[in-house]
Protein backbone atom coordinates (compact mmCIF):
# COMPACT_ATOMS: atom_id res chain seq x y z
CA UNK A 1 0.00 0.00 0.00
CA UNK A 2 2.93 2.29 0.70
CA UNK A 3 3.95 2.17 -2.93
CA UNK A 4 0.45 3.10 -4.04
CA UNK A 5 0.26 5.97 -1.54
CA UNK A 6 3.53 7.23 -2.94
CA UNK A 7 2.25 7.15 -6.54
CA UNK A 8 -0.87 9.00 -5.40
CA UNK A 9 1.13 11.62 -3.51
CA UNK A 10 3.47 12.28 -6.40
CA UNK A 11 0.58 12.57 -8.88
CA UNK A 12 -1.34 14.90 -6.54
CA UNK A 13 1.69 17.21 -6.50
CA UNK A 14 1.39 17.64 -10.28
CA UNK A 15 -1.95 19.47 -10.23
CA UNK A 16 -0.15 22.84 -10.39
CA UNK A 17 0.83 22.01 -13.98
CA UNK A 18 -2.80 22.10 -15.13
CA UNK A 19 -5.78 24.42 -14.95
CA UNK A 20 -9.48 23.88 -14.40
CA UNK A 21 -11.59 24.22 -17.58
CA UNK A 22 -12.89 27.75 -17.84
CA UNK A 23 -14.74 27.64 -21.17
CA UNK A 24 -17.68 26.20 -19.23
CA UNK A 25 -18.04 28.91 -16.54
CA UNK A 26 -19.54 26.58 -13.92
CA UNK A 27 -16.45 24.32 -14.08
CA UNK A 28 -14.09 27.21 -13.37
CA UNK A 29 -15.00 27.18 -9.65
CA UNK A 30 -13.70 23.64 -9.07
CA UNK A 31 -10.73 23.16 -6.73
CA UNK A 32 -7.63 22.85 -8.95
CA UNK A 33 -5.75 20.94 -6.23
CA UNK A 34 -8.35 18.22 -5.81
CA UNK A 35 -7.31 14.70 -6.74
CA UNK A 36 -9.10 11.46 -5.90
CA UNK A 37 -8.81 7.87 -7.06
CA UNK A 38 -11.13 4.92 -6.58
CA UNK A 39 -10.31 1.37 -7.71
CA UNK A 40 -12.55 -1.66 -7.48
CA UNK A 41 -12.27 -5.38 -8.12
CA UNK A 42 -15.02 -7.99 -7.67
CA UNK A 43 -14.19 -8.33 -3.99
CA UNK A 44 -12.65 -5.14 -2.74
CA UNK A 45 -11.89 -1.49 -3.35
CA UNK A 46 -9.21 1.12 -2.63
CA UNK A 47 -9.93 4.83 -2.26
CA UNK A 48 -7.33 7.59 -2.22
CA UNK A 49 -8.10 11.25 -1.58
CA UNK A 50 -11.50 12.89 -1.11
CA UNK A 51 -13.78 10.42 -2.92
CA UNK A 52 -17.16 11.94 -2.00
CA UNK A 53 -16.75 15.03 -4.21
CA UNK A 54 -19.38 15.22 -6.95
CA UNK A 55 -18.49 16.42 -10.46
CA UNK A 56 -19.92 16.06 -13.95
CA UNK A 57 -19.12 13.21 -16.34
CA UNK A 58 -18.51 15.45 -19.37
CA UNK A 59 -16.94 13.41 -22.16
CA UNK A 60 -16.85 10.20 -20.13
CA UNK A 61 -20.57 9.89 -20.87
CA UNK A 62 -19.83 9.59 -24.59
CA UNK A 63 -18.95 5.91 -24.18
CA UNK A 64 -22.24 5.21 -22.43
CA UNK A 65 -24.36 7.11 -24.98
CA UNK A 66 -22.58 5.28 -27.78
CA UNK A 67 -23.48 1.90 -26.24
CA UNK A 68 -27.13 2.83 -25.67
CA UNK A 69 -27.60 4.14 -29.22
CA UNK A 70 -25.74 1.19 -30.77
CA UNK A 71 -27.64 -1.38 -28.71
CA UNK A 72 -30.81 0.18 -30.05
CA UNK A 73 -29.97 0.63 -33.74
CA UNK A 74 -27.33 -2.06 -34.30
CA UNK A 75 -23.70 -1.57 -35.30
CA UNK A 76 -24.30 -1.40 -39.04
CA UNK A 77 -26.88 1.38 -38.80
CA UNK A 78 -24.74 3.42 -36.38
CA UNK A 79 -21.74 3.12 -38.71
CA UNK A 80 -23.77 4.97 -41.37
CA UNK A 81 -23.74 7.97 -39.05
CA UNK A 82 -20.43 7.81 -37.16
CA UNK A 83 -17.08 6.23 -37.96
CA UNK A 84 -14.64 4.64 -35.51
CA UNK A 85 -11.43 6.33 -36.70
CA UNK A 86 -9.17 8.47 -34.45
CA UNK A 87 -8.52 12.06 -35.52
CA UNK A 88 -5.66 13.55 -33.50
CA UNK A 89 -7.68 16.78 -33.43
CA UNK A 90 -9.08 18.52 -30.39
CA UNK A 91 -12.42 17.27 -29.05
CA UNK A 92 -14.49 20.16 -30.38
CA UNK A 93 -12.74 20.50 -33.74
CA UNK A 94 -14.80 21.08 -36.87
CA UNK A 95 -12.05 20.85 -39.48
CA UNK A 96 -12.75 17.25 -40.47
CA UNK A 97 -16.48 17.70 -40.96
CA UNK A 98 -15.66 18.38 -44.59
CA UNK A 99 -13.74 15.12 -45.10
CA UNK A 100 -14.62 11.39 -44.83
CA UNK A 101 -17.90 12.17 -46.69
CA UNK A 102 -18.66 14.66 -43.92
CA UNK A 103 -19.20 11.80 -41.47
CA UNK A 104 -18.01 12.42 -37.90
CA UNK A 105 -14.82 10.42 -37.34
CA UNK A 106 -15.76 8.80 -34.04
CA UNK A 107 -18.24 9.07 -31.15
CA UNK A 108 -15.60 10.25 -28.63
CA UNK A 109 -15.24 13.70 -30.22
CA UNK A 110 -18.04 16.22 -29.88
CA UNK A 111 -19.23 15.93 -33.50
CA UNK A 112 -19.71 12.16 -33.22
CA UNK A 113 -21.20 12.42 -29.73
CA UNK A 114 -23.79 15.00 -30.85
CA UNK A 115 -24.79 12.72 -33.74
CA UNK A 116 -25.09 9.85 -31.24
CA UNK A 117 -27.25 12.04 -28.96
CA UNK A 118 -29.66 12.52 -31.87
CA UNK A 119 -29.83 8.75 -32.39
CA UNK A 120 -30.69 7.80 -28.81
CA UNK A 121 -33.91 5.83 -28.36
CA UNK A 122 -37.05 7.75 -27.39
CA UNK A 123 -39.46 10.21 -28.99
CA UNK A 124 -38.74 13.22 -26.82
CA UNK A 125 -35.62 14.91 -25.51
CA UNK A 126 -36.57 13.69 -22.06
CA UNK A 127 -36.83 10.06 -23.27
CA UNK A 128 -33.44 10.24 -24.97
CA UNK A 129 -31.70 11.55 -21.87
CA UNK A 130 -33.56 8.97 -19.78
CA UNK A 131 -32.33 6.11 -21.99
CA UNK A 132 -28.75 6.93 -20.97
CA UNK A 133 -29.39 7.77 -17.31
CA UNK A 134 -31.34 4.51 -16.95
CA UNK A 135 -28.46 2.47 -18.37
CA UNK A 136 -26.06 4.27 -16.06
CA UNK A 137 -28.33 3.68 -13.09
CA UNK A 138 -28.32 -0.03 -13.91
CA UNK A 139 -24.51 -0.02 -13.88
CA UNK A 140 -24.29 1.99 -10.66
CA UNK A 141 -27.26 0.53 -8.82
CA UNK A 142 -28.37 4.01 -7.77
CA UNK A 143 -30.14 7.05 -9.18
CA UNK A 144 -28.18 9.71 -11.04
CA UNK A 145 -28.97 13.40 -11.42
CA UNK A 146 -28.11 16.14 -13.86
CA UNK A 147 -26.24 19.14 -12.49
CA UNK A 148 -28.43 21.86 -13.95
CA UNK A 149 -26.05 24.64 -13.03
CA UNK A 150 -23.34 23.06 -15.20
CA UNK A 151 -25.86 22.24 -17.92
CA UNK A 152 -27.22 25.79 -18.22
CA UNK A 153 -23.75 27.27 -17.92
CA UNK A 154 -22.58 25.20 -20.87
CA UNK A 155 -25.79 25.62 -22.85
CA UNK A 156 -25.36 29.39 -22.75
CA UNK A 157 -21.74 29.19 -23.92
CA UNK A 158 -22.11 26.39 -26.46
CA UNK A 159 -21.22 28.31 -29.63
CA UNK A 160 -18.80 25.66 -30.86
CA UNK A 161 -21.11 22.75 -30.18
CA UNK A 162 -24.02 24.61 -31.76
CA UNK A 163 -21.90 25.31 -34.86
CA UNK A 164 -20.94 21.61 -35.04
CA UNK A 165 -24.61 20.63 -34.71
CA UNK A 166 -25.66 22.86 -37.61
CA UNK A 167 -22.93 21.43 -39.85
CA UNK A 168 -23.99 17.89 -38.89
CA UNK A 169 -27.60 18.74 -39.70
CA UNK A 170 -26.70 20.30 -43.04
CA UNK A 171 -24.80 17.15 -43.99
CA UNK A 172 -27.55 14.74 -42.90
CA UNK A 173 -25.84 13.42 -39.78
CA UNK A 174 -28.48 14.39 -37.22
CA UNK A 175 -31.53 12.25 -36.63
CA UNK A 176 -33.25 14.99 -34.57
CA UNK A 177 -33.24 18.77 -34.89
CA UNK A 178 -30.24 20.83 -33.77
CA UNK A 179 -31.70 22.07 -30.50
CA UNK A 180 -32.74 18.62 -29.37
CA UNK A 181 -29.41 16.98 -30.21
CA UNK A 182 -27.48 19.78 -28.53
CA UNK A 183 -29.59 19.82 -25.39
CA UNK A 184 -29.57 16.04 -25.02
CA UNK A 185 -25.79 15.99 -25.50
CA UNK A 186 -25.17 18.77 -22.96
CA UNK A 187 -27.53 17.30 -20.37
CA UNK A 188 -25.71 13.98 -20.62
CA UNK A 189 -22.35 15.72 -20.14
CA UNK A 190 -23.79 17.27 -16.96
CA UNK A 191 -24.63 14.01 -15.16
CA UNK A 192 -23.25 14.19 -11.64
CA UNK A 193 -21.06 11.39 -10.21
CA UNK A 194 -18.17 10.76 -7.80
CA UNK A 195 -14.96 8.74 -8.33
CA UNK A 196 -16.43 5.58 -6.86
CA UNK A 197 -19.14 5.76 -9.52
CA UNK A 198 -16.42 6.13 -12.15
CA UNK A 199 -14.65 3.04 -10.79
CA UNK A 200 -17.94 1.12 -11.10
CA UNK A 201 -18.36 2.22 -14.72
CA UNK A 202 -14.78 1.15 -15.46
CA UNK A 203 -15.38 -2.16 -13.68
CA UNK A 204 -18.40 -2.73 -15.91
CA UNK A 205 -16.07 -2.62 -18.92
CA UNK A 206 -13.36 -4.65 -17.18
CA UNK A 207 -15.87 -7.49 -16.72
CA UNK A 208 -17.55 -6.97 -20.12
CA UNK A 209 -20.77 -6.15 -18.31
CA UNK A 210 -21.04 -9.64 -16.83
CA UNK A 211 -23.55 -9.93 -13.97
CA UNK A 212 -24.69 -6.35 -14.51
CA UNK A 213 -28.30 -5.32 -15.00
CA UNK A 214 -27.14 -3.00 -17.77
CA UNK A 215 -27.37 -5.31 -20.77
CA UNK A 216 -25.16 -4.66 -23.76
CA UNK A 217 -23.92 -7.03 -26.46
CA UNK A 218 -20.27 -8.06 -26.21
CA UNK A 219 -19.66 -6.73 -29.76
CA UNK A 220 -20.77 -3.26 -28.70
CA UNK A 221 -18.75 -3.38 -25.46
CA UNK A 222 -15.70 -4.41 -27.50
CA UNK A 223 -16.14 -1.45 -29.86
CA UNK A 224 -16.56 0.87 -26.87
CA UNK A 225 -13.26 -0.37 -25.42
CA UNK A 226 -11.50 -0.08 -28.78
CA UNK A 227 -12.78 3.50 -29.07
CA UNK A 228 -11.46 4.29 -25.60
CA UNK A 229 -8.05 2.85 -26.47
CA UNK A 230 -7.77 4.69 -29.79
CA UNK A 231 -9.68 7.94 -29.12
CA UNK A 232 -10.52 8.08 -25.41
CA UNK A 233 -7.83 10.45 -24.16
CA UNK A 234 -8.28 13.27 -26.69
CA UNK A 235 -5.26 13.87 -28.90
CA UNK A 236 -3.04 12.18 -26.33
CA UNK A 237 -4.70 8.83 -27.06
CA UNK A 238 -1.76 7.43 -29.06
CA UNK A 239 0.76 8.25 -26.34
CA UNK A 240 -1.57 7.00 -23.63
CA UNK A 241 -1.98 3.68 -25.46
CA UNK A 242 1.79 3.47 -26.01
CA UNK A 243 2.93 4.37 -22.50
CA UNK A 244 0.02 3.39 -20.24
CA UNK A 245 -1.66 0.74 -22.38
CA UNK A 246 -5.18 0.76 -20.92
CA UNK A 247 -8.55 1.59 -22.51
CA UNK A 248 -9.58 4.88 -20.84
CA UNK A 249 -11.85 7.88 -21.31
CA UNK A 250 -11.41 11.35 -19.92
CA UNK A 251 -13.57 14.47 -19.65
CA UNK A 252 -12.84 18.19 -19.26
CA UNK A 253 -14.20 18.08 -15.70
CA UNK A 254 -11.01 16.15 -14.87
CA UNK A 255 -12.76 12.77 -14.76
CA UNK A 256 -11.11 9.62 -16.11
CA UNK A 257 -12.16 5.96 -16.25
CA UNK A 258 -9.46 3.35 -16.91
CA UNK A 259 -10.02 -0.34 -17.48
CA UNK A 260 -7.81 -3.16 -16.26
CA UNK A 261 -9.03 -6.42 -17.75
CA UNK A 262 -6.74 -8.55 -15.60
CA UNK A 263 -4.30 -7.28 -13.02
CA UNK A 264 -3.10 -7.07 -9.46
CA UNK A 265 -2.95 -3.78 -7.57
CA UNK A 266 -2.12 -4.43 -3.92
CA UNK A 267 -4.97 -6.64 -2.62
CA UNK A 268 -7.15 -6.06 -5.70
CA UNK A 269 -7.03 -8.90 -8.20
CA UNK A 270 -8.65 -9.82 -11.51
CA UNK A 271 -10.68 -7.29 -13.50
CA UNK A 272 -10.25 -3.82 -11.95
CA UNK A 273 -12.11 -0.57 -12.64
CA UNK A 274 -10.32 2.71 -11.93
CA UNK A 275 -12.00 6.11 -11.51
CA UNK A 276 -10.03 9.34 -11.15
CA UNK A 277 -10.93 12.97 -10.57
CA UNK A 278 -8.44 15.80 -10.86
CA UNK A 279 -9.98 18.96 -12.33
CA UNK A 280 -6.63 20.60 -13.17
CA UNK A 281 -6.38 19.56 -16.84
CA UNK A 282 -3.63 19.97 -19.43
CA UNK A 283 -3.92 21.76 -22.78
CA UNK A 284 -5.36 18.67 -24.46
CA UNK A 285 -8.09 18.24 -21.80
CA UNK A 286 -6.78 15.40 -19.61
CA UNK A 287 -6.39 15.54 -15.82
CA UNK A 288 -2.68 16.18 -15.18
CA UNK A 289 -2.63 14.24 -11.91
CA UNK A 290 -4.76 11.50 -13.46
CA UNK A 291 -2.34 10.93 -16.33
CA UNK A 292 0.65 10.94 -13.99
CA UNK A 293 -1.04 8.47 -11.62
CA UNK A 294 -2.07 6.04 -14.38
CA UNK A 295 1.35 6.19 -16.04
CA UNK A 296 3.13 5.23 -12.82
CA UNK A 297 0.47 2.72 -11.78
CA UNK A 298 0.62 0.89 -15.11
CA UNK A 299 4.41 0.80 -14.99
CA UNK A 300 4.80 -0.33 -11.39
CA UNK A 301 1.96 -2.87 -11.33
CA UNK A 302 2.57 -4.06 -14.92
CA UNK A 303 -0.95 -3.35 -16.15
CA UNK A 304 -0.15 -2.68 -19.82
CA UNK A 305 -2.81 -4.69 -21.61
CA UNK A 306 -1.64 -4.92 -25.23
Where along the sequence are the contacts to ligand GLU (CB under 6 A)? Answer: 58-59, 91-92, 110, 154, 161, 189, 251-252, 285
* Cβ proximity to ligand GLU, 59 vs 230, nearer residue: 59
* Cβ proximity to ligand GLU, 93 vs 217, nearer residue: 93
Contact 53, 30 (CB under 8 A): no
Contact 108, 231 (CB under 8 A): yes
Contact 185, 129 (CB under 8 A): no
- Per the annotation, the verdict on 234 as an active-site residue is yes
- Per the annotation, the verdict on 8 as an active-site residue is no
Q: CB 63 → ligand GLU: shortest distance, Å?
A: 12
Phi, psi values for residue 16, rounded to 5°: -65, -20
Tell me the C-alpha distance between 306 and 304, whole Å.
6
Tell me the C-alpha distance between 70 and 120, whole Å.
8
* Cβ proximity to ligand GLU, 7 vs 164, nearer residue: 164
- Per the annotation, the verdict on 160 as an active-site residue is no
Q: CB 186 → ligand GLU: shortest distance, Å?
A: 6
- Per the annotation, the verdict on 193 as an active-site residue is no
Contact 209, 219 (CB under 8 A): no
- Per the annotation, the verdict on 29 as an active-site residue is no
Instruction: Determine which one of 81, 234, 277, 301 is catalytic.
Output: 234
Instruction: Determine which one of 62, 103, 128, 225 is catalytic.
Output: 62
In 3D space, the residue among 270, 250, 274 whose CA is nearest the CA of residue 261 turns out to be: 270
Instruction: Determine which one of 8, 81, 151, 185 is catalytic.
Output: 185
Instruction: Determine which one of 38, 41, 59, 65 is catalytic.
Output: 59
* Cβ proximity to ligand GLU, 58 vs 118, nearer residue: 58
Tell the burial category of 106 from Cβ atoms under 10 Å away from its Cβ (0-12, 13-18, 19+): buried
Q: CB 235 → ligand GLU: shortest distance, Å?
A: 11
Q: Which residues are catalytic?
A: 59, 62, 185, 234, 252
Amino acid sequence: MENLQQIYKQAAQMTYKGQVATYIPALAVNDPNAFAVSMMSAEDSIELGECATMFTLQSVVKVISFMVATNHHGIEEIMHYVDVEPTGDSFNSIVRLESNNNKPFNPMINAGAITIASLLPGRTMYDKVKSVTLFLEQILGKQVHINNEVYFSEYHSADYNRAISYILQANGFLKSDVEEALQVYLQLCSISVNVSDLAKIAFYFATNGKNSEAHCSIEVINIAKALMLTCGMYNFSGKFAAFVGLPAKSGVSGAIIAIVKQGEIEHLQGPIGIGLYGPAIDKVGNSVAGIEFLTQLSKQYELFCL
